Amino acid sequence: GAVVSQHPSRVICKSGTSVKIECRSLDFQATTMFWYRQFPKQSLMLMATSNEGSKATYEQGVEKDKFLINHASLTLSTLTVTSAHPEDSSFYICSASTGLTGGNEQFFGPGTRLTVL
Amino acid sequence: AQSVTQPDIHITVSEGASLELRCNYSYGATPYLFWYVQSPGQGLQLLLKYFSGDTLVQGIKGFEAEFKRSQSSFNLRKPSVHWSDAAEYFCAVAANEKLTFGTGTRLTIIP
């Protein structure tokens, strides 16, 4: 149980294009979903928190107009990197929480490797 | 604000030897603590978690961790490592629905 999927697992795009990454909770309803960014050999940095049906809350320093997050249902959240540039190349990981377990345990997706040429 | 420190960036251990990965946290209230493992190019897998109760928690793959409030620590241990344990290990503390991760410890296993 508590499986989270991400699609695509890997994407390569040209500079200036937009890329959409999907995050799905497969066997549970996620009241909250999180998006993280991880640079090579570094830790995960929280980008934003989204609750179903409401606007995402972005961490300080994250451009909300560049990283568009939509949490349209209790099982799906999307991250769109708009007008991507090489510096946006990174590993993006989503997680989902039911809000029911202690500490709001998060279940992580396998990640999406974005390469912007 | 909460924070997590993993003082060891890289640890090398012989296969079959014991392992201890250090984690120190800073948080004003009772923490929710986690250890995750990440293989290259993969997402995070939860090894174990501490919410309350018994301070020695057992996890998957033979891992355990001990919560020591007096030392603000939550060190991860395994009595005998296997080559498949080579990975990146992250300690994390939860507060206000958010996870704060340490910088990670890369574990290398030598034959």
Chain A neighbors of B45, CB-CB under 8 A:
108
How much of chain B exceeds pLDDT 90, in percent?
A: 77
Judging contacts by C-beta atoms under 8 Å, the chain A residues touching residue B52 are 102
Give the nearest chain A residue to B6 (CA atoms): A43
Judge if the upstream peptide bond of residue A8 is cis by omega within 30 degrees of 0: yes
Q: How confident is the model at residue A101, as a pLDDT?
A: 58
Backbone phi and psi for residue A62, each to the nearest 5 degrees, phi listed first: -95, 125
Q: What is the pLDDT of residues B42-85, one digit of tens each?
A: 889 999 999 888 899 999 999 999 999 999 999 999 999 999 99
Q: B44 and chain A: CB distance < 8 Å anywhere?
A: yes
Please give the average per-residue pLDDT across B95-104, as a whole number: 87
Residue A115 near residue A15 (C-beta atoms within 8 A): no
pLDDT at residue B41, as a whole number: 81
Distance in angstroms (rounded) separating the CA atoms of residues B96 and B94: 7
Contact B43 A93 (CB under 8 A): yes
A-B C-beta contacts closer than 8 Å: 58
Q: What is the pLDDT of residues B74-85, one digit of tens each?
A: 999 999 999 999
H-helix or E-strand spanning residue B97: none
From A4, A32, A104, residue closest to B94, measured CB to CB: A104
Pairing of strands B3-5, A90-97: unpaired
Mean pLDDT confidence for B28-33:
84
- CB pair distance less than 8 Å for B32 and A103: yes
Contacts of B46 in chain A (CB under 8 A): 105, 107-108
Residue A39 CA: distances (Å) to CA of A42, A63, A73, B101: 5, 17, 29, 14
* List of chain B residues whose C-beta atoms are within 8 Å of the C-beta of residue A21: none
The span from the CA of A73 to the CA of A61, in Å, is 26
Average pLDDT score, chain B = 93
| pLDDT value of residue A103 | 58
B33 → chain A, closest CA residue: A103
* Tens place of pLDDT per residue across chain A (117 aa): 689 999 999 999 999 999 999 999 998 888 899 999 998 878 899 999 998 888 899 999 999 999 999 988 899 999 999 999 999 999 999 999 886 655 568 899 999 999 999
Instruction: Nearest by CB to A108, from B44, B97, B98: name it.
Output: B44
